Structure 1
Amino acid sequence: MSGASLTEFRSKAKLHLRKCRENKIKRLINKPSSSSFKSRQSFSKSLEKVKSSLPNCDRKQKVVNQHLAEKFGLVPKSKHQRITLQLADKLKTDVHNFYQRDDISYQLPDENKSVDLSRSSFADLRPVFVVSKSALAHRNCLCVYHENVRLLLKDVDKYVDGTHCSSLSTFTDSLVCSTNNEECMFGCCSICKDFFSENIQENVSNSNSKITWS
């Protein structure tokens, strides 16, 4: 091969090699990457960070993963619809009548076991004119503590002159300036702090009497 032919051959070879390199670079640039991570190591590190942030409970992990998968469009969103059970009209009427009974002053657990009704639904059906016990004044309370005080006063009244112990409200009024005053009710008032000794102890008819409760 002459010198001119050899030079031409080498020029064509270099040109062909340059085109091959350019085409290879174009393919690498235009080809979509199968992963957003540069290496498997970076992917593994990111995966470990996500796992360490998940709850320890398997059930909670499943809920979080399901939510993330739906958020990023990996799985279709669930179309769960909450079903609300409607109460029968007869049941509503029975509960309404139950609230108006004179012999009912508080809830009785297991009184009507056959009735399937939640506590919240039972409270929602309460008529507006029926007041709950928690909204009543302390003097109208029917709890065991206040009832015990009434029973104690019933016997004490026999040995105390006057009407100071005739009822819980009268007894309370005899001990404080005002039942609406917090300082009086907590014994912090300087005016009524001695009312018990003045109105109750000094009016005991027989100091030798002993009162017992069974």
Structure 2
Amino acid sequence: MSDDGLLHRKLAPGKLVIASHNKGKLREIAELLAPYGIETVSAGALGVPEPEETGTSFVANAELKARFSADLTGLPALADDSGLCVEALGGEPGIFSARWAELDDGSRDFAEGMRRVHARMQEAGDEAGHDAHFICALSLAWPDGHVETFEGRVDGLITWPPRGDRGFGYDPIFQPLGHAISFGEMEPEAKHAMSHRADAFAKLVAALF
């Protein structure tokens, strides 16, 4: 029985599919899993395509992606759905964070995504504030259909111009509360100690390992 009063299925040692084609997410998740002796393999390396994300929440999309990879590979699969939620934009881009970075050719350029966030915030005006948060939902699915999901959050402010070339996605314009630098300027170890993904991961580890 875990601290949340729920009975969780434990993750046995062995191979785990990371159900993502995002290199930044793959790197961060592999680094977070490294101390636990889990052998990770990306969905892309196994030829698993990206499913259409039809969910209306981070949790729904994470579970959809995890189930999809577990079904196709016959292995446990861990999926992440995460995004930037800006208060002045009514929580956008939210679950559409990656789509805000899409170009006309279908590729993704987060420098463009950051410009779009900044432009929309300018339209909203300074009185709307700069508060924002990242959300991460981590879902672990087994081939038999069982799923465990954990959600993490980190609060901060949107800054402009972008700062730093570490991390990925919107990290260069997100400054976590209590810090004077952006996620894009932060050493990976420091970000892992506080990020939305680390928060969700800590809950997953406490429940499943």
More helix by share: 1
Give the TM-score taking structure 1 as reference length: 0.23
Give the TM-score taking structure 2 as reference length: 0.23
- The structure with the larger Rg is 1
